[in-house]
Amino acid sequence: MRVSRNEMVAALSRAYEGAGHHIGDYEDAAQLVTWSHMCGLGGFDRIALPPVGPKGGATPRLVFENADIAVIDAGGADVCEHGSLAAHLAHSKAQKAGFAIVELANCRYPDLILRSLSLVAQQGVFISAYWTDQAGSHGASFESGAIFPHYWRVEKTNTAKECSTVTIICTTQSTLLADAVTRQAEQPGVKRLEISAAQMAASYDRSLEMGIAVPPGHWDALNAAAWPILVPSGQQSRAGAGPG
């Protein structure tokens, strides 16, 4: 089945709210997952359906900080909960120092941070992120002003971590930001996937035009996850429901 972007964002928002995520967090989660899926990175394949409740608490823990470096412990939370904070902190530091590194440690679904990085890149800086998860080693690099990144993944079968550390590098000067591909040593015999910014843009546009392909079972799971936020039927709820 296919659904529109707005339908998917609304369904995911309800599902994350039903799972117990805080106001603001569930809207961010819906946007991040939808954006990733529309770009061809399989956002729905990265999350539990129905979504699990928040694990990181309301506030992440700042482990270390100086003028151009910060380390944040997400406490096992989804990157949807604290990814935007980490991305904007990197941007703020880079604006002052010209270069910044922010690590978001102990987070789940790290690849969903890409939309947060896109919003930062569109403000006129260069930004990249690197992480390792159960699928292997990943990287994404945004040019200044870009909406979509160049993305790569090197598959590794010996990685079995539920939580990951995302390293964000942000700078106002392109010469200070090494490209994600050239940073990695060649590994003959290891399967490598690369998706260009142009390919991501084309995938996103197709999803806008044709709708987002969603397995019926996933759609049912999203809608079922919204049940906790629905008002139970009763005399009080019917009284405020308007004309029948």
pLDDT digits (tens, 9 = 90+) for 55-107: 655 567 899 999 999 999 988 888 878 889 999 999 999 999 999 999 999 98
Q: Are 193 and 153 in contact (CB under 8 A)?
A: yes
How far apart (Å, rounded) are the C-alpha atoms in residues 127 and 180?
Answer: 10
How far apart (Å, rounded) are the C-alpha atoms in residues 189 and 181?
Answer: 16
> Residue 195 belongs to what H/E stretch?
strand 192-195
Domains and CATH numbers, the chain: 2-231 (3.30.1370)
The amino acid at residue 50 is P
Q: Are 190 and 159 in contact (CB under 8 A)?
A: no
| DSSP helix/strand/coil, 116 | helix
Parts of the chain with a pLDDT under 50: 179-182, 184-185, 231-244
pTM recorded for the entire structure? 0.84
